């Protein structure tokens, strides 16, 4: 056999993939008498080359000639020329032959030049394209099962514990090539903890291999080669690359293409501003998928986590490409952000887009629509009770956008208002009051006392005062705000109904009769204008029930709490703070009335409130006693 087409050296420590190597692939090749090739398909680093090499060595005794062509090797001629040269060397031999083509990126490069005789052809390709399915038997190579990944790492690295191997395999996405690259560093003396730390801060270095000679066949090297091919290709190839870069900085969660609004957008890349249509976008996503660089699902597109980390890392060395990636990512986010701010009816859409929006560093967001998308996302986080995440993110936001806020104080007041709501939800009433008072004072001074945003801020200030026990001041401030809103917007307006509900809530400790009459009136208005399941309606119903408790009308209070809890469980995400508070009051009142309550439900509610509300609270204390903590 010509040495140019000799098999690569066999890996004596090859592990795993037993079913694929022992049964599936040999069976497919045995059935390939019709000249149909077999294609091993999978993403970069999945182990296609390792599997095909091991299989070829195992089958060597069954074929007079086994030839190997590394299609990716530079400077060795075009694939067609190399296939022709290889077939010339085996011409005249008797019996079946096995030809392995490793690393075919474009089916069109090889399809017309494949042998038509009894030669068996095995191809490895990361290209996930329909062409293969029309001309070949395609086998998808899966990631290694976790137990095989752990065994591979522990075989490569003497003394590696099972716990460390398990952590590494998880972070490396069970990709064999990534694990080989990481193992080379571990054998050089780096600790598992250091490898994991470097994966987060500089994935491309770890996944380039320990020695410089490792780079071309490392995961980082292969990804760089694939992206460089796009960079040096046609204009469409370069725009595909810009899209890949943008989706990398929005990872690792899938990008929700199903949430895209409209059918065309003005986007920027590192070359120019241009119009992107929905067809352009999906054609480029398909092109990236065909090159094994993108995973497409119904309504979503994603890079695998490891590849995304490497591409993000490689971008750092290319400031112009990185700037283009951030600009395009921002415009894509604006295109998927729901038009409505975070209201209950749009929560399904917000759940889809939030991971991508939060993945983008706010320091790289520079347009008004982009900033609005991020602010609306934090409003959604507060609405669904993710208070701590919102507090941490909004604090970072105020630092990242300090220069912008110096020029646009109104935007910072929006951030402060959302941050105050998050603090209130956590029970940080002093922090909430400080922020709300500042927002209220500035809006009243700059916009006037009757401005809608100033009136909303004053209503929040009233809640803060009530939470701290200043009931008279709280009631007066809420009453003034409510009457002004009724005069300006009408009693049936959403702001007026909301503030009226706050007022009834604040009046309960001082005058439950008056509070009940107002609360009942507001509740009826909300049912008529918002619906019985709207969260504002349910808030009022909850506090109306507590008002009935204050009036000792337990027979009316408990059914109202139970109905409110039922609707909240049906309309809110599991573990939402509002659901937990309603459940807590419902269980406590049931116990007071001597009715049975499931201990598991009480414990689940108590644990949820303790995670969310990190201050001492009498309701939580009573629940803890009831749950026998």
List the domain boundaries for the chain. Answer: 3-140, 146-217, 222-336, 378-574, 575-629
> pLDDT, tens digit, for every residue of 409-447?
999 999 999 999 999 998 898 999 999 999 999 999 999
92-96, 141-145, 604-608, 615-619: which range is least confident on average? Answer: 92-96
**What is the rounded average pLDDT of the residues 18-44?**
80
Residues 131 and 111: beta-carbon distance below 8 Å: yes
For residues 323 and 361, give the distance between their C-alpha atoms in angstroms, rounded to a whole number: 12
Return the top range by mean pLDDT from 19-33, 122-136, 209-223, 586-600.
586-600
> pLDDT, tens digit, for every residue of 300-319?
999 988 899 999 988 988 88
Residues 35 and 113: beta-carbon distance below 8 Å: no
pLDDT > 90: what percent of the chain? 52
Domain 3-140 in CATH 3.40.50.300? The answer is yes
Residue 61 has pLDDT above 90, yes or no: no
* Nearest CA-CA partner of 500 in 540, 545, 549: 540
**What is the rounded average pLDDT of the residues 249-260?**
91
Distance in Å from the first CA to the final CA of the chain: 76
Residue 34 has pLDDT above 70, yes or no: no
Q: H/E element holding 513?
A: helix 512-529
What is the pTM for the complete model shown? Answer: 0.82
Residue 573 has pLDDT above 80, yes or no: yes
**Max CA distance (Å), the chain:** 104
pLDDT > 70: what percent of the chain? 95
Q: How many CB atoms lie within 10 A of CB 264?
A: 13
Residue 620 has pLDDT above 90, yes or no: no
pLDDT level of residue 460 (50, 70, 90 thresholds) = very high
- Taken as a whole, the chain contains a residue count of 629
pLDDT of residue 47: 87
Residue 94 has pLDDT above 70, yes or no: no
- Which DSSP letter does residue 144 get? P
pLDDT level of residue 587 (50, 70, 90 thresholds) = very high
List the strands of the sheet with 65-70, edge to edge. 65-70, 97-102, 120-125, 38-41, 137-140
Residue 342 has pLDDT above 50, yes or no: no
Angle at 175 between CA 68 and CA 179, to 5 degrees: 95
Token readout for 443 is 């809006």
For residues 9 and 100, give the distance between their C-alpha atoms in angstroms, rounded to a whole number: 14
For residues 381 and 622, give the distance between their C-alpha atoms in angstroms, rounded to a whole number: 28
Residues 626 and 588: beta-carbon distance below 8 Å: yes
Residue 615 has pLDDT above 70, yes or no: no
For residues 208 and 307, give the distance between their C-alpha atoms in angstroms, rounded to a whole number: 12
Angle at 184 between CA 180 and CA 189, to 5 degrees: 145
pLDDT of residue 3: 58
- Which DSSP letter does residue 337 get? S
For residues 16 and 257, give the distance between their C-alpha atoms in angstroms, rounded to a whole number: 36
For residues 301 and 44, give the distance between their C-alpha atoms in angstroms, rounded to a whole number: 17
pLDDT of residue 57: 87
pLDDT of residue 30: 76
pLDDT of residue 58: 86
> pLDDT, tens digit, for every residue of 348-370?
788 889 999 999 999 999 999 99
Non-local CB neighbours of 311 within 8 Å, separated by 6+ positions: 223, 227, 244, 245, 248, 303
Indicate the Cα dihedral angle 615, 621, 623, 625, nearest 10°.
Answer: 150
Residues 337 and 353: beta-carbon distance below 8 Å: yes
Q: Topology of domain 378-574, per CATH?
A: 1.25.40
Residue 209 has pLDDT above 90, yes or no: no
Token readout for 248 is 């990398």
pLDDT of residue 496: 96
Q: Is the peptide bond before 233 cis (omega within 30 degrees of 0)?
A: no
Residue 619 has pLDDT above 90, yes or no: no
Helix (H, G, I), strand (E, B) or coil at 137: strand
pLDDT of residue 477: 95
For residues 418 and 414, give the distance between their C-alpha atoms in angstroms, rounded to a whole number: 6
Chain mean position to CA 400 = 21
SS3 sequence of 192-228: HHHHHHHHHHCHHHHCCCCCHHHHHHCHHHHHHHHHH
For residues 282 and 421, give the distance between their C-alpha atoms in angstroms, rounded to a whole number: 39
pLDDT level of residue 74 (50, 70, 90 thresholds) = very low
**What is the rounded average pLDDT of the residues 261-270?**
78
- Kindly provide the b/e burial profile for residues 499-516, where b requires at least 16 CB atoms within 10 angstroms of the residue's own CB: bbbbbbbbbbeeebeebb
pLDDT of residue 475: 95
* Nearest CA-CA partner of 185 in 173, 174, 175, 197: 197
CA neighbours closer than 13 Å in the CB half-sphere of residue 43: 23
């Amino acid at each position: 056999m010509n040495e140019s087409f000799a098999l690569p050296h066999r890996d004596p420590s090859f592990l795993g993939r037993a079913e694929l190597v022992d049964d599936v692939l040999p069976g497919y090749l045995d059935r390939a008498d019709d000249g149909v090739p077999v294609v091993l398909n999978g993403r970069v680093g999945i182990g296609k080359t390792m599997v095909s090499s091991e299989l070829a060595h195992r089958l060597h005794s069954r074929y007079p000639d086994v030839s190997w062509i590394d299609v990716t090797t530079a400077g060795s001629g075009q694939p067609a020329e190399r296939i022709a040269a290889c077939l010339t060397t085996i011409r005249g031999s008797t019996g079946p032959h096995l030809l392995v083509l490793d690393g075919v990126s474009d089916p069109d490069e090889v399809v017309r030049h494949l042998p038509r005789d009894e030669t068996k052809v095995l191809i490895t390709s990361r290209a996930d394209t329909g062409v293969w399915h029309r001309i070949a038997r395609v086998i998808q190579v899966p990631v290694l099962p976790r137990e095989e990944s752990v065994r591979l790492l522990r075989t490569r690295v003497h003394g590696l514990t099972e716990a460390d191997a398990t952590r590494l395999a998880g972070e490396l996405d069970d990709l064999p090539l990534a694990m080989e690259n990481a193992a080379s560093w571990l054998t050089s003396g780096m600790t598992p903890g250091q490898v994991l730390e470097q994966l987060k801060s500089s994935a491309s270095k770890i996944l380039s291999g320990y020695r410089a000679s490792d780079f071309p066949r490392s995961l980082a090297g292969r990804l760089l080669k694939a992206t460089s091919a796009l960079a040096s290709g046609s204009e469409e190839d370069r725009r595909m690359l810009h899209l890949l870069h943008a989706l990398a900085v929005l990872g690792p969660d899938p990008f929700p293409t199903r949430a895209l609004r409209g059918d065309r957008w003005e986007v920027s890349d590192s070359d120019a501003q241009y119009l992107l249509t929905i067809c352009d976008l999906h054609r480029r996503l398909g092109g990236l998928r065909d090159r094994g660089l993108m995973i497409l699902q119904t309504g979503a597109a994603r890079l695998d986590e490891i590849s995304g980390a490497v591409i993000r890392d490689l971008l750092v060395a290319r400031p112009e490409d990185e700037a283009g990636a951030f600009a395009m990512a921002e415009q894509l986010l604006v295109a998927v952000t729901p038009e409505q701010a975070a209201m209950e009816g749009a929560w399904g859409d917000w759940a889809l887009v939030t991971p991508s929006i939060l993945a983008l560093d706010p320091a790289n967001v520079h347009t008004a629509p982009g900033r609005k998308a991020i602010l609306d996302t934090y409003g959604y986080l507060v609405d669904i009770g993710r208070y701590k995440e919102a507090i941490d993110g909004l604090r970072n936001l105020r630092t990242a956008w300090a220069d912008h806020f110096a020029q646009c104080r109104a935007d910072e007041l929006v951030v402060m208002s959302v941050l105050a709501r998050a603090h209130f939800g956590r029970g940080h009433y002093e922090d909430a009051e400080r922020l709300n008072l500042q927002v209220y004072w500035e809006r009243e001074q700059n916009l006037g006392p009757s401005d809608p945003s100033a009136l909303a801020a004053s209503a929040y200030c009233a809640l803060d005062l009530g939470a701290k026990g200043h009931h008279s001041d709280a009631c007066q401030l809420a009453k003034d705000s409510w009457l002004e809103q009724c005069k300006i917007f009408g009693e049936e307006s959403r702001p007026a109904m909301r503030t009226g509900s706050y007022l009834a809530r604040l009046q309960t400790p001082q005058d439950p009769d008056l509070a009940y009459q107002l609360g009942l009136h507001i509740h009826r208005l909300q049912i008529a204008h918002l619906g019985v399941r709207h969260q504002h309606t349910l808030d009022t119903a909850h506090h109306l029930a507590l008002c009935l408790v204050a009036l000792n009308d337990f027979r009316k209070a408990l059914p109202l709490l139970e109905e409110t809890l039922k609707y909240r469980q049906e309309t809110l995400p599991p573990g939402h703070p509002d659901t937990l508070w309603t459940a807590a009051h419902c269980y406590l009142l049931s116990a007071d009335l001597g009715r049975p309550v499931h201990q598991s439900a009480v414990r689940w509610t108590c644990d949820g409130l303790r995670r969310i509300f990190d201050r001492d609270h009498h309701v939580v204390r009573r629940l803890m006693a009831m749950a026998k903590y």
